[in-house]
Structure formats: C-alpha cells, structure tokens
Amino acid sequence: MNYENLLVQNEDGIVILTVNREKALNALNTQTMLELKHFFTEDAPKIEGLKGIIITGAGEKAFVAGADIKEFLQLDAEKGREMAARGHEVFFAIERFPKPVIAAVNGFALGGGCELAMACHLRIAGEKARFGQPEVNLGIIPGYGGTQRLVHYIGRTKAMELLMTADMIDAQQALDLGLVNHVVAAGEEVTKAKELLQKIAGKGPVAIQKVIECVNACFEDGVNGFDYEVKAFGETTATEDFKEGAAAFIKKRKPNFKGK
C-alpha cells in the first residue's frame, strides 16, 4: 500500500513508523487509521527479519494529538459507534502484534494519541512528552480504549481522575504512574526504543511472542491468563529455540535462535 500519512523506514529489521501529519499535530484521521490497520494486518506481518516496530510522530511537537477533531462534526450515535469499533480493531491489531511494538513519544500524546501509545507493548517518553485523555473537554469520552487501558496501566484511582479532569501529565509523572517505561532527553526517544528492540531481538522470538500473548491474556475477557500461560509454556518447551537456548546455557555460549 502507498501510505499518505505514514512513513515506513526499515533499518535492518527495526521498522520506524512515523505518523506524518505534522501540521495537524499528527491527529489520527480516518485515512491514517485505515493505513495503520493495513500496516499492522497486511504489510508488517510479511516483513522479513522484522525485529520490532517503533511508532513515533513527525516533528518535535506531537506524537499524536488525538483523533482528528475536524472530522467529528459529521458524527452521530451510529457513526460514533462505528468509529470507536474501527479504532478498537486497529489498536487490538497493534496490541496483539507478535513482535514488540514500542511508542517513542516525542510530544503531545493526547486522546487517541495516548490510546495509541497505550496499545503499544512499551512506551518511551521524551522529556517534552505530555499525556492526557482530554475528550471530556469536547463532551465525549475516549473511544479507542482509553477508559480501559489507562486503568490497566495506572490503576483506577488516577485513571478516573485523569479521565474526568482532562489534565495532562508530563513525562516524569507518566513514569511515576507506570504509564511509560523510560524517560529520555528530547530527541532520544527512537534511539532508546531501538536499543530495547536490539536487546529483545537477542531473545527467543517465539518466547517473546508468547510473553505478549500471555500478558494480553491477563486483560482479555473470558480468558484465564494462568491457563493461557500453562498452554503457552508447553508450546515454548516444544520449540527448537528452547533446545538451542538450553544447550547454549549448558555450553556457556550465546544462543542462536531461529524463531522456530
């Protein structure tokens, strides 16, 4: 697919996906959401030697400032429901992606932007990053998973406050609350994300995929995460990677995982 609003750079298996609508602070319009869905469901799974994906925003000001408010005027109950349901599909595709996806948050991550960052497996915040769910300022609520994932990450008490006050928090507060994994100097977000992906790329790829599945299972309706872990553990013990990992440990050498 030729993307209008996404830039895709593949650097030796680390793909940097940039939401590229700088003039609109990278707001997620319908086209961008379609492109994100296509990328994660069609294109990314076919990338040979993929180590992981880093999502960031174009320019220095914003990661993503939310869903595109300029498209909101045509919404009604039916279209609003459809918009939220489509958004959930896209963000679940990111959350369930079998390789690590890291948000490199370089500025405002508001509304759908905070929700996009939360759908990623890890989050790196630059010092200028700001997070918030300001939807109630507009008289709506978050529609791309914010009322759920924010609670999972920072707990009910603070999530309720941020969702009701629309307050923004800075990178350090996001770190203190457990919303982000690391805070780095402005401009260093992608570098730190690459460093993490390189480290993870040295581990067993099937094991990494199963970690993602099991952690997600913790929050999936109707799924018992412990049962899921039992099944997934069994599956990892049947891999060639496990035999290689154990043999390498015993022979005191580095493992050479094949992802099988």
Write the binding mask 22 to 61 for ligand CAA: x where contact by CB under 6 A, - elsewhere: --xx-x----------------------------------
Write the binding mask 69 to 88 for ligand CAA: x where contact by CB under 6 A, - elsewhere: xx----------------x-
Given candidates 144, 163, 190, 204, which one binds ligand CAA under the rule CB under 6 A?
A: 144
Given candidates 54, 93, 129, 135, which one binds ligand CAA under the rule CB under 6 A?
A: 135
**Alpha carbon distances (Å) from 85 to 58, 79, 137:** 26, 10, 22
Q: With residue 210 as reference, give the H or E element that holds it.
A: helix 205-217
Distance between CA 127 and CA 28 in Å, rounded? 23
DSSP 49-84: T--EEEEEESTTTEEE--B-GGGGGG--HHHHHHHH
Closest distance of CB 162 from ligand CAA, Å: 13
- The verdict on 94 binding ligand CAA (CB under 6 A) reads no
Active site residue 235: no
Strand partners, 128: none
Two tokens at 168? 């923004």
Q: With residue 93 as reference, give the H or E element that holds it.
A: helix 77-95
The residue (of 29 and 239) whose beta carbon lies closer to ligand CAA is: 29
Quick one: which segment of 73-81, 103-111, 169-177, 208-216 binds ligand CAA (CB under 6 A)? 103-111
Two tokens at 67? 């869903």
Quick one: which segment of 65-73, 172-180, 210-218, 221-229 binds ligand CAA (CB under 6 A)? 65-73
248: helix, coil or strand?
A: helix
Amino acid at 17: L
Quick one: which segment of 43-51, 89-97, 106-114, 175-183 binds ligand CAA (CB under 6 A)? 106-114
| Catalytic center residues | 115, 135
